[in-house]
Chains A and B, each alone.
Chain A
Amino acid sequence: MGDLRDLYQETILDHSRRPRNFRTLADADRKVEGFNPLCGDRVTVFVSLEGDQVKDISFQGSGCAISTASASMMTEKLKGKTAEEALSLFEGFHALVTGKHEARGNGSELGKLEVFSGVSEFPIRVKCATLAWHALKAALTGAEQTVSTE
């Protein structure tokens, strides 16, 4: 059960129970739904932009603890970031949960998001952790209206 504690860190459980920015954005400029057809998880990410900057960001949907917490912490992290910064965080987060980068601890670009490093020991859960991020990426690059993890 030791590994489970690495996966289900207290911060993750907290965000899954009380997701932040869990609402729709009436004046969103972009809205993209992420869907994981394997498990039926759905998350819609709403972004409102001011110039190149994420002015506000929120999400809605239903998913497991990992995907909900990941979406919640993503929205906290990205408020005020530029699109470019957001996409760079996407890359960093993806590398972290797929085990390509180790967690770096204090001062790293990802900051609190490093609690997701345990996901790399659970390869089938990577899609849960990245679902909202894939939707975000599509929102920022103006690609599709729905993205699928498949």
Chain B
Amino acid sequence: MSGTSEALKTGPRAELVRFDVEAIRRDFPILHQEVHGRPLVYLDNAATTQKPKAVLEVLQRYYTQDNANIHRGVHELSQRATAAYEGAREKVQRFLNAASSREIIFVRGTTEAINLVAHSFGGANVREGDEILVSTMEHHSNIVPWQILCDAKKARLRVIPVSDRGELEMESFDRLLSPKTRLVSVAHLSNALGTLNPVKQIIRKAHARGIPVLLDGAQAAARVKLDVRDLDCDFYALSGHKLYGPTGIGVLYGKADHLEAMPPFMGGGDMISSVTFERTTYNKLPYKFEAGTPHIAGVIALGAAVDYVDSIGLEAIASHEEELLHRATEGVLSIPGLRVIGTAKEKAGILSFVMEGIHPHDLGTILDQQGIAIRAGHHCTQPLMERFGIPATARASFGMYNTPQEVDALTEGLGKVREVFG
């Protein structure tokens, strides 16, 4: 732990200070502003999280002191940049508890991670008549890459249905697993419903039939303590920008055996060990999957972000957000005509709702005028919206820096909607 958070600088009695949200807030400069004349209440963390000073400073320092290309310079700056880049890979490895840093591939984000697996793993392993299994609650980025693959291979996309509460129907899952299934790809935590899926059970059942599993961890990575070895997932995809890091950088974790066997995704510099026009040999892991100059600053800043999250502790963040979610759920349910979409037993950090007679967009605009940022729309989950027979939801999503007072501001803000709409 680097101890980069102010929240930890609490002196000898630190162990008594469980979770100091005010200290955390001081680490996030963007939070201290007014929007439409009101203090900003940022409740759109599922779309993207804000960045702590530790991350911003690392970006600034990298570009002002160490900027150079990596892996090929003999000079000092290149060596510093390379060391910081590879150091970040090891931080991410520890964050995920992966067996080796060779299993950590840097990509642009969750979307690219899933596309990489669809292209490389799918390209090599999926044949006509095979099946890929996803669920109704997936983000479009965990649907469309598989549709493209299935179209090209004449394979079939099968879908695990979702119950009225927003939980995966596990009996259907059992029935859908078949000798034709080549891969199961599901969200760890649903961005539209807040449902935490029973991923260990899914992985165990799929593995019993020799089927690998990809987890879309875009939402879970900032809200669930991760251990990919304990989960035993084959692939795990996440986005840095939803984990208090920069945009444009993400991670694909893959078990080394799979990654070794898979063909490259993109060709170019850095991913080769030698090139002639007759024959090119690919570089070893993880470089085989990192063609071209990567987002070096982004990777290093992502390393700072996971350090920061570690310094607060994901268990502490998770229990803080659980309290916020509980308070928010009770609060919004006190509002007449409001219905929560997604009432799973296991939820984390995300609250979707609709209000009778008032479109989520109008809710979003009215809350924005009070300085409260939420998301209104289909959340890139159109099949899920269709499943619930609604065009859209309003969604509040929490981060480590949100406070109970902000949750109450949301409830009060929703109360004002009737003032406008009568």
Contact = CB atoms under 8 A, between A and B. Distances in A.
B390 to A, nearest CB: 9
A42 B421 contact: no
Nearest to A41: B391
A122 B420 CA distance: 16
A63 interface: yes
A104 interface: no
B369 A40 contact: no
B369 A1 contact: yes
A95 B345 CA distance: 50
A26 interface: no
B362 interface: yes
Interface string A1-41: 10111011000010001000000000000000000001111
Contacts of B369: 1, 3-4
Contact of A39 (B357, B378, B419, B421): B378
A66 interface: yes
Given A38-B377, A41-B391, A63 B359 contact: yes
B376 A39 contact: yes
Interface string A98-142: 000000000000000000000000100100100000000000000
A143 interface: no
A65 B358 contact: yes
B361 A128 contact: yes
Contacts, number: 54
Nearest to A68: B359
A13 B359 contact: no
A62 interface: yes
A68 to B, nearest CB: 8
B422 A13 contact: yes
Interface in B114-166: none
A40 B378 CA distance: 7
B343 interface: no
Given A1-B420, A13-B421, A64-B361, A39 B370 contact: no
Contacts of A62: 391
Contacts of A122: 365
A91 B362 CA distance: 25
B393 to A, nearest CB: 10
Contact of B421 (A8, A125, A128): A8
A66 B361 CA distance: 9
Given A40-B391, A41-B391, A8 B420 contact: yes
A103 B319 CA distance: 52
A1 B370 contact: yes
B357 A17 contact: yes
A4 B359 CA distance: 15
Contact of A40 (B392, B416, B419, B421): B392
B366 A39 contact: no
A115 B101 CA distance: 60
A86 B341 CA distance: 41
A17 B75 CA distance: 69
A42 B391 contact: yes
B382 interface: yes
Q: Give 8 nearest A-B pairs by CB, closest first.
A: A64-B359, A64-B361, A40-B391, A40-B378, A39-B377, A65-B362, A40-B392, A64-B362
Interface of A: 1, 3-5, 7-8, 13, 17, 38-42, 62-66, 68, 122, 125, 128
5 contacts: A1-B416, A1-B419, A39-B377, A39-B392, A40-B392
